[in-house]
Structure 1
Amino acid sequence: RLNDLNKGYQICEQIKKAIDLYQQQTGKRIVIISTTDYTHYGPGYGQNNAQNLSANEEYARVNDKSILQSILSNNPEQLLQTQQITQNSMCGLWPSLIIMILSRLLNDNKGQWNLLSYNVSSEVMKRGKDVCGFASLIYSNT
């Protein structure tokens, strides 16, 4: 996996060059958006022993906490390691890693991730005992 992460850095270096060239030619700023969801838990996701909705919501929150802390630390290696250890069922591990690497490269490591919101899907729409964690984060270099 570390070898894959090195490839991620190489890809992001190429993307950074393209973005730098675009900005030099146009003078425009860019915004990069990435999305993922986090823990999936409940009978619909294969956890037939899932207890009840409130216990499943708590499971998602606890399971997502270390993943979100890794993102907020702005350390892609830590995110990869945390996901491997916890086996968090986030769908977008690699998009998250790439956006973290790219954000650091584009801002000379001057910036940080901030958590805007975290919710469990059942807080928005109940679907039996199934839950999924969602977070909104923003990278700021100011």
Structure 2
Amino acid sequence: MELRKAVFAGSWYPAEASACEAEIEGFLEGEAATGPLQGQWCAGIVPHAGWYYSGRIACRVIARLKGSRPPDLVVLFGMHLPPGATSSMMPMGAWETPFGPLPVAEALARDLMQRFAFQEETPRRYARDNTIELQLPFIKYLLDPGRILAIGVPPRAEALAIGQAVVDWAADQGQRLVVIGSTDLTHYGPDYGFTPRGTGSAALSWVRDKNDRRAVDAMLRLAPEAVIEEGLTHQNACCAGAAATAIAAAKRMGADRAELVAYATSHDLSPRDSFVGYAGIVLGRGNG
């Protein structure tokens, strides 16, 4: 089983297991582990900046997906892809994490490759992309799944079918599935070439209360097509396809509600004219 080496360990998050564990336990300190729908969350949407900025949010979302036993399968949607891109996947091997390897769900990958077009990656040949790797230590430490499949999906309605197919395959195989979508929100400021409200407090308020709120509201409505439209029209989700596909999968699993776990911006920790928004959301079934 060939191992895909971690490339962001030691910079975007700690490289050593003990340091990762200490940060994770710190992120979870004082946090109710599962929230009001214990055992009924099936999916989450997480941010993917360095752990200093958004790790607490991502960690708390993934912790709420923990059930009474480890899931058989975690499918993680991510990657910065334009609308016209082909979906991407590493169908063989394993991912390196500080807590040990996460083997790829090769049987699921083979099934999906028969039905959809993918740009294939290997443990030695791949695009450097933080959206996937930043979640892997959280997934290994908190969920410890039997297998994982990371899939890059573009912000296009056709990608939603991949999420639905994942759910159908897991149901046919009798496997307990957890789904995660990885996206940040508005990238605002001169560094990102996006300053429709200038700079200063008015720009920050607009991002927090207007632009990011539009994307978050679409996610909370469980409206995957609207999430894609928001990202493309208002630049308020850098990986809108990943979030939308996770929502489509969650709905296929029976999710009928979503809850905002936390929202923040990088400006909260590092005040600058250029900043990024982050949201953590869990999806599942309501009572009754």
For this structure pair, what is the TM-score category when the shorter chain's length is used for normalisation?
A: 0.7 to 0.9
Q: 1:106 aligns with which of 248, 253, 265?
A: 253
Does the 8 A contact of 1:64 with 1:88 survive in 2?
Answer: no
Higher relative contact order (CA 8 A, sep 6+): 1
Residue 59 of structure 1: CA displacement?
2.3
Query: Offset of 1:106 from its aligned partner?
Result: 1.3
Does structure 1 retain, via aligned residues, the 8 Å contact 2:181–2:245? no
| Structure with higher strand content | 2
Shift of 1:36: 0.7
CA separation in 1, counterparts of 2:160 and 2:239? 17
1:20-99 paired onto structure 2 within 5 Å = 20-22=171-173, 24=174, 29-47=176-194, 50-52=198-200, 54-61=201-208, 62-85=210-233, 87-99=234-246
Shift of 1:119: 0.9
- Is the contact made by 1:56 and 1:130 (CA closer than 8 Å) also made in structure 2? no
Per-residue deviation, 1:48: 6.2
Counterpart residue identity of residue 282, structure 2? I
Deviations 1:20-67 (A, max 9, x none): 134x2x5xx332222211111111112468322x22321211211111
- Structure richer in helix, relative to its length: 1
Amino acid at match of 1:91: C
8 Å CA contact retained: 1:57, 1:120:
no
Counterpart amino acid of residue 258 in structure 2: W
Give the superposition deviation at 1:125. 2.7
After TM superposition, the score normalised by the length of structure 1 is 0.78
* SS of alignment partner, residue 167 of structure 2: helix
The answer to whether 1:139 aligns with 2:283 is yes
2:180 aligns to what SS in structure 1? coil
Give the Cα–Cα distance (whole angstroms) in 2 for the partners of residues 68 and 34 of structure 1.
13
Q: Are 1:37 and 1:134, in contact at CA under 8 Å, matched by a contact in 2? A: yes
User: In percent, how many aligned pairs have the same letter?
Assistant: 21
Match of 2:268 in 1: 123
TM-aligned CA distance change 1:48 to 1:93, over 3 Å? closer
Q: TM-score, normalised by structure 2?
A: 0.41
The alignment covers a number of residue pairs equal to 130
Amino acid at match of 1:39: T
Q: CA deviation at 1:9?
A: 3.6
Partner of 2:235: helix, strand, or coil? Answer: coil
Q: Which runs of 5+ in 1 are unaligned?
A: none
Gaps of 5+ in 2: 1-82, 84-155
SS of the residue aligned with 2:184? coil
- The answer as to whether partners of 2:257 and 2:283 remain within 8 angstroms in 1 is yes
Question: Deviations for 1:81-129, whole angstroms, at most 9, x for unmatched residues?
Answer: 33444x224211100110010000111xx42111111111111233x31
